[in-house]
Structure 1
Amino acid sequence: MKKEKKTILISLSKHFKIVIILFSICTIIISLYSTLRYFKFQNAYIEKSLDYYSNQLVKSVTEAYTSYENISYNIAYSKNVHDYLTSTTSGDSYTSYQSLRDQLSNARMLSPYIVDIALYGNDRRFVSLCGAIENYEDMAKSISDTHFSFRSLGIAQINMAKCHIMSIPIYSLEGNQDNYLGLLFLSIDVNSLLDNNINSNNNQYNPQIIFTHEDQLIYGSKSIYHSLETKNTPPKKETSLDRKYVINEYTIPNINHTLYVLINKSIANKQLYEISRQLLLYMISLSFIFFLLLFTLYHPLIRSLNQLTSYMKTIAEGDRRIYRKGYVIKQGIIASTEIYDIQRAFKNMIEQTELLNRKIFDTYTRMYELEDNARKTEIAFLRSQINPHFLYNTLTMICGMAAENDTGKIISITEALSRIYRYSIKGTEKVPLKEEMEIVKNYLMIQKERFGDRFQIEYSFSESSLYCMIPRMIIQPIVENAIVHGLEKSLEPGRLLIGAGLNPNYGYLAIWIYDNGVGMSSQKLESLREKIASSQINNSKNNGEYKIAKDAPISDSIGLLNVNSRMVLYYGTNYTLLLDSEEGVGTNVQIRVPYEMMLGSKVI
């Protein structure tokens, strides 16, 4: 007998407390979840903003320095520069000097960030637009190898501006190509260049820019640069810089400089804290209003129900004076329509007891009829699933065992038969595959007693498949069909294979029943497949009502058609039985079921 489920009685006041607690928990969870989601969104937004801004900045700086390199090469290998550095007379030198000054002035106008262009010859000839020879001479003397491309020489103060000095060597255009003539210097106002790029992007997170060459800081904060040097010292570890900034690192290819772009996380975190604070205030305000409204509506309801319960208990104890005197439920300012309806209904219930008794009697009569109809339906269901010949053969076998006084086998066979019938008429519509297979094994145990060594049974189940949910009693009819129409008719010892596995590509459970019995001819197989397809069409046309044609050979196919019909009713026309058979070889029947897993008391 099934144990009755215990009912937990909870007063409405406790309900009220539970609702408040659950609402508070939900409020906290929603607040935390919203904050976390916003935090993730904000971080993703910062990273995207940094990537976009960094790419724009790197592109702009690369283009700028590429143009400076082109300007430098155009000047260094121009005729004016060559004439000036190779002139031998003072007249020629003066003329070429004036032409060179004009060329340098025109070149400086090509970019607003070029502060000075200077020329320093190996014989100390010097030309500059605004800088003194002292600014460049030390740099020129520090160069030991004059075979280099466009490169950085560091930072210098030129014309009251902090400039990034770029240089290229100058060689003779005629004669000996290795004749070194001097150096060309290009002074770039790197502060204005990068500051204008920062301001032009209007980034709300105020990015920090660090521009370096080898171990020298070209632009940016010295403290951040020292932190970057510490961070890049192996082994790399998370530093305070990582926790404070989002960092992107780039290399400017044509000058081999490194550009760091950093965004301060604290700005975004400050916004996050402010939004979290506002969200928390909104939640607290909403909770207070909700609790106040809930108390205003709940308290009169609880008080009214207590009064009504007291009246009912008084009448149930046999004291009907309160009924004759009348009773009124006082609800207060805010009244519940349902309480008044309950009060009137209770009064009418007392007045019409006899009428209600007759209605109850009629109700019980109808319930009995429904139960009787349900019992008849269960019997019809049983008959459609369990072959009467199987029952007849089993009882005959039990009689034979009784004649031989084989009590042990009689008990085991009877218990197995009892389990099969009890399983087929009671329980939920869907069961785990493992539970279904227990009944199949009971059925096969009976058949093995009958057929002896006529066939062997093999099982092949994946561990995960045993807990998948399938309709009740869909495997036994297929197994019975395999024995009766396949193995029993074969003269050779047979083999019955039952297995199941998951198909991860299509998300269904495949169950197969294979026997190496007599099999079917191609004509019979095709005919059976047509009947399955026909029953599928009839199901859809008759709103799920299964009908078998009058001329259908019931003895050969009723079990398969019943199972196929149930599968279509449960899962639709994509889950019909799959049949494969060859005469003299065997038959394979496959059942496909959508993947459903039992987890605790729930199906997932």
Structure 2
Amino acid sequence: MDYFKKRPIKLQLLVIFVMFVTVVVSVMFVTYWQSQKMIYQKNKAYSIELLDKITQYIQSQIDNIDGLVINTSYSADVHQYLRSTDLLDKIDAFKKVDTYITTISQLENGIVDMTIIGENGNNVNLMYEKQKKSAVLATVEEMRKNHDSRLKPYYAGFKQIVEDDVKHRYFVVGSRISNIFPASTLGYMVVILDLESLFPKFNTMLANGFGHFYVLDRNGTVASSNDEQMIGQQMNIESMAGKHGQYVVQSMELRDLQGKIVNVYSKKDLFRGLEKVKIVYWWIMAVCIPVLLVLLLIISRNILEPMKSFMRFIQVQKVKNIYHDQKRIQLVGYNEIMVMADKFNGMLDEIDQLTDEVVESKTRIMSLGLLKKQAELAFLKQQVNPHFLYNMLESLRGMASATGAMEIREMIVALGKMLRYSIKGQDEVKLGEELEIAKAYLKLQQFRFEDRFDVHIDFPEALLNNRVFKMVLQPILENAITHGLESRMEKGNLWLGARETPEGDVVIAIKDDGVGIPSEKLALIQAELAAGEEFLARLHHNDNGHLGIVNVHNRLRSAYGDPYGLKIRSAPNAGTEVELLLPRRTEDAPC
């Protein structure tokens, strides 16, 4: 808290503004998220309720069909017909069974056809229509393969049958007709049902439902739905549920059908009503943020601008270091600021008076010491060194901070960091330290070129302790900016990264998307790299523009030997990439 109190007022106001906007945005986000959660939970509960109602309806229809099928399967006339071998007995039993089936088909709604197929060849109503017959025989074959001994009918599933060039949708149910003693299978009964005899009319029952409802048979085929296009299609619930998280899927098992009833709805449709809320939130932000900015501007004008003028005045006097007969500050603002200006002007008057007295009393002393001061000044002029320059940069940084020139302050800090780094005695440093200086250099270059390129840095933490030569990156970066990005008309990019090779070495890559290097010039540079120290002397004598790259390469090659060094790849208008291959050497490793 004390640290925050000592910060500039403008920064504090800006932090308060950011915190306020953050709180407002967070509240909006939380309310929006809670609204989504509440809508989702309510719709989920409602969906489960609808699924339960539909399940109950289908189960009641199944119970009716089960009773009809089981009664028919255990009819004495049916059993007698399927066991008969005598022709007269078979004819008499057939008439009874045929009459029984015809009566049931006429009285029970939803039954399209009933067929009985005996194991001894005695059949009843084995239809001649090709697709119906095929569906019946396929169902019988399924029941033969299914050795389920339960009394429950076998719900084979959805079938689409074409009759007279018209497509009809049916649901096929089968039942095994078994002799009790001795236990054996006499035959099979297959019932073709209209879909409405099993499933509800979704468009009527689910007038207020949300999304689509699907009834799947044992094969995963949609047997009934309020989405007409999906009826008769295969449906994969898992893929639908995982489809980019865009859908919500609720399902319930239909045990007798060996299928499911599924409710699928889109999250986008579910939360569509919240889009208006989101728009309102955006309007609130669009109105509130400008209003708050205007308030900050008013406060800045009435408080900060007079204070900045006061600080600039003090800084000028500090630089001049002469207070006698100087101008007095005039501030217009709140009463407290005007009182502060008057007090400061009074202090300047007192300083003027004291200065006159000090100057008069020390004139002789200053005259006697003038020669000595001149000699010292001459000596100091000869002693301008990097330490003095660094100290001056620190002073300039303080002045930039005091005047609010924060961007200039950052540039001075970066330049000072590079200067202090350059005068360090050691020749090898950690890669992390070299990276920090490279960042400072890039910051200066971005300031110089007015952010004409972006920098992308990717260095694994594990490699930052690796030992490298000091100032090994700066020449490469300078070359990339000067020869690659400076001539580029559009905004460019500079990538700086490192990786460890399978052999345990370290590769540092510097890449730009600048103008690239012509093939002839690239060939010359690569020849320079291959020539070594002898060719480097001639290049230096000729003031070669790529001396920095060659120098870095020779330093690495001289210190570590082959294959370490520098490689360069480039093409016109395709950028340039430089790779430095270094040995993996930690701080504890011998140099």
The alignment's TM-score, normalised by the length of structure 1, stands at 0.40
The alignment's TM-score, normalised by the length of structure 2, stands at 0.41
